[in-house]
Amino acid sequence: MAFVTLTAPVGTHRFPPQNRPLRLARGPRCAPAPSRSRGGVARIVATDSAAAKGKGATAGATPVSTQYDPTPLHTALMPPKTDLKRVRQMLNDHASGKLALDLHVVDAHRRTALHVATGLGMPDIVERLVSLGADVNAQDSQGLTPLHMASGYARPSTVEALLRAAEGLIDMSLRDMQNRTALELAQMCLRNEPPRKFIGLVPNQKHSAYTQVVELLYNFSQRSAAEGDDA
């Protein structure tokens, strides 16, 4: 089938095998790709330091230097040199007050570390970031939230982890620049994926993953609506 180039989260996505790194320069294949910066080189955009803003930082902690790497979490998360051990250590040091990380800092596409972790399918990192105060409703330059990222990249376990960790905080009604909620994005991606491929000989894992994502989002939205009515 022909792949549809869309606008969205992180990288060229063709549901690569586990041994092939996922590039995050563009969003899911079912969304338009964001425009490239001049010369094709992404420019790092950093917010004020966590210590100065008082956001996501611990009083008395040593701020992370942004002179050479304004986005240390992004660097450790991104393939092909993903270093989850370093990510976990930084988050633990941040939680204990040894290190001051700005969890709201963004990259050239205005994505936070939570955007990256959800797009890459890292449920444990996602839960940790949310518990430390990462903004679950942050929108990047394409209007994509972390939930859009996990949904558009067919990450059911990550969607489940994010919904569980951010229950009561997450806004399911947020729309991207294509006027899609996370549920609508997942439904669109699902429509683009046949149940089977290679002349019907092989089950399409991507179709199965999007089906799970749609079910998770739909059930969560229905439950949230019911709880709202009861209140």
Name the residue ranges covered by the structural domains of the chain: 42-179
pLDDT score of 46: 31
Closest CA to 69 of 51, 46, 86: 46
- Dist. CA 220–CA 71, nearest whole Å: 32
The answer to pTM > 0.85 is no
SS3 content of the chain, % helix, strand, coil (to 5): 40, 5, 55
Radius of gyration of the chain measured on its C-alpha atoms: 18
Q: H/E element holding 89?
A: helix 84-96
107 contacts 71 by C-beta, under 8 angstroms: yes
Range picked from 45-49, 65-69, 221-225 for highest mean pLDDT: 221-225
Longest dimension (CA), the chain: 61
- Grouping H, G, I as helix, E, B as strand and the rest as coil, residue 111 is coil
Confidence class for position 41, pLDDT limits 50, 70, 90: very low
Mean pLDDT for the stretch of residues 119-131: 98
Q: What are phi and psi of 202, to 5 degrees?
A: -125, 130
pLDDT score of 136: 98
> Domain 42-179: which CATH class?
mainly alpha
- Name the least confident of 7-11, 117-121, 142-146, 188-192: 7-11
What number of other Cβ atoms are within 10 A of residue 65's Cβ? 10
Confidence class for position 101, pLDDT limits 50, 70, 90: very high
pLDDT(44) > 60: no
- Dist. CA 56–CA 49, nearest whole Å: 10
pLDDT score of 60: 52
- Dist. CA 26–CA 104, nearest whole Å: 20
- Dist. CA 223–CA 67, nearest whole Å: 45
Q: Is pLDDT larger for residue 89 or for residue 12?
A: 89
What number of other Cβ atoms are within 10 A of residue 115's Cβ? 30
To 10 degrees, the CA torsion angle through 41, 84, 139, 72? Answer: -50
Q: At what angle do helices 182-191 and 205-230 cross, to 10 degrees?
A: 150
